[in-house]
Structure 1
């Protein structure tokens, strides 16, 4: 195995290697400033193990890639982290708070938000109106506030609208604001969903296949936006089958195999790891 592949061993807590010379399966290093910790996460469906004692950490300020073929358990882990599934075992910690088993809106209140592989287009809404679904803790969500604090509700809605307009302009898609959300392309909708997620002011944003089905021009635009947002302080974890996209954007890369963490390392180390080549990259996954 190459020196770059062996670099992944630096991420194990013990520094020990398995029989292949690589890091022990499931072993990850404790990170100095982990904003997200996944510890011994487990999930089965009807006797089929989807997540098998998965453990990894995401350091604040990074773009972390989560790769593996279909069936490796990537989307299941996203659903467990973000509260859409309840784990059978293990814990999820965001900013030092155990969010295991919380509802998605509760996880979002702790700073972790996600997008979906297929964005919801929200029938009957314009792009601007769809954006306004993004902000969290809106006073107008309380029926009582409409009567007891109408001014507060109005001020909040005005502020959210201004933020939505600003972010649409920042993403250079403000020209879509008045278009029906169902009329724009899939790639444009993924830009809108990313912009909408930022209205929630997440510390950690999970992106589920952000460029799946997106043309190269919009994929490049999405990559630019993710980098820009990361430079401004947002931590990203992304699932993506486009290896060129994820290897160019993410560092570190976490590799899943049958619901477990196979290894973790830099893009160069992962590319050179024989196990990764055999299990994932060799088949063009």
Structure 2
């Protein structure tokens, strides 16, 4: 498998306005792929197209060679494309362990009656998934918070629970929407190390992130978009020095003269 995700000539419009304009992006297994650009550039809209929240008007999105364009979000998740959100979305009243367990159920083959009747299949399935929950809590250093309501955790630990829940579904592509948003310096360093460990598992990772230090340390390849259109693409060192990227973020000298 050469690519885990292929976004080919994708465009998305809202009431005639262009949000995504003919984007092509290809993510390899075990690659951390950064999507960056100014606020309002269309980054989250792109992720919403990949995960089935939006259907693009043009282009195709393929996961492991299969066309998933416009497929429903839960089916895309079941296939192995999982995401986190810029604004953390957890079951705040539920414990850390229960939140992570919710991610396991994405892959579960249980029917509604299995849990009611407590069939042997149900017991085997639940034991397997609780073991997975324990492994993920240890991986994210969350074991001591297993029974703590998630809403009582620090913001940094809530972010880890969200990522653990996504990994519980055994994805092959993990999509991170501003994972370092709201984190302090130490939490950002810890998160960076966690993402590198996730990469070692062989997962493809796409991430939007405004922390440029983090982006440059983590990513293998970057696409920069502005007003929904690609303006630069390449390895971090190339993108960082691309005049088109500098102009998109801070403006050109001509624009400054006009002020």
Same fold (TM over 0.5): yes
Q: How many residues align?
A: 251
Structure 1 CA distance for aligned equivalents of residues 3 and 136 of structure 2: 28
- For structure 1, the residue ranges without an aligned partner over 5 or more in a row are 1-31
Change (3 A) 1:161 1:281: farther
Q: Provide the residue aligned with 1:222 in structure 2.
A: 191
Most deviating of 153-162 and 143-152: 143-152
TM-score (norm 1): 0.84
Change (3 A) 1:41 1:186: same
Structure 1 CA distance for aligned equivalents of residues 251 and 125 of structure 2: 51
Counterpart contact for 1:206–1:238, Cα < 8 Å: yes
Most deviating of 196-205 and 115-124: 115-124
Most deviating of 69-78 and 38-47: 38-47
1:139 aligns with 2:139: no
Change (3 A) 1:278 1:46: same
TM-score (norm 2): 0.92
Structure 1 CA distance for aligned equivalents of residues 88 and 123 of structure 2: 28
Q: Provide the residue aligned with 2:52 in structure 1.
A: 83
Structure 2 CA distance for aligned equivalents of residues 102 and 244 of structure 1: 35
SS of aligned partner of 1:117: coil
- For structure 2, the residue ranges without an aligned partner over 5 or more in a row are 253-259
Question: How far does residue 144 in structure 1 lie from its aligned partner after superposition?
Answer: 3.5
Q: Provide the residue aligned with 2:75 in structure 1.
A: 106
Q: Provide the residue aligned with 1:59 in structure 2.
A: 28
Change (3 A) 1:281 1:115: farther
Most deviating of 125-134 and 143-152: 143-152
Q: Provide the residue aligned with 1:268 in structure 2.
A: 237
Counterpart contact for 1:139–1:153, Cα < 8 Å: no
Q: RMSD value over aligned CA atoms?
A: 1.7
Q: Mapping of 1:112-127 within 5 angstroms?
A: 112-127=81-96
Q: Provide the residue aligned with 1:197 in structure 2.
A: 166
Structure 1 CA distance for aligned equivalents of residues 231 and 70 of structure 2: 25
Which of 249, 265, 280 does residue 218 from structure 2 map onto?
Answer: 249
Structure 2 CA distance for aligned equivalents of residues 230 and 89 of structure 1: 31
Q: Provide the residue aligned with 1:178 in structure 2.
A: 147
Counterpart contact for 1:63–1:236, Cα < 8 Å: yes
Question: How far does residue 137 in structure 1 lie from its aligned partner after superposition?
Answer: 2.5
SS of aligned partner of 2:112: coil
1:150 aligns with 2:119: yes
- The ranges of structure 1 where at least 4 consecutive aligned residues each deviate by more than 2 angstroms after the TM superposition are 144-149, 280-283
Counterpart contact for 1:139–1:145, Cα < 8 Å: no
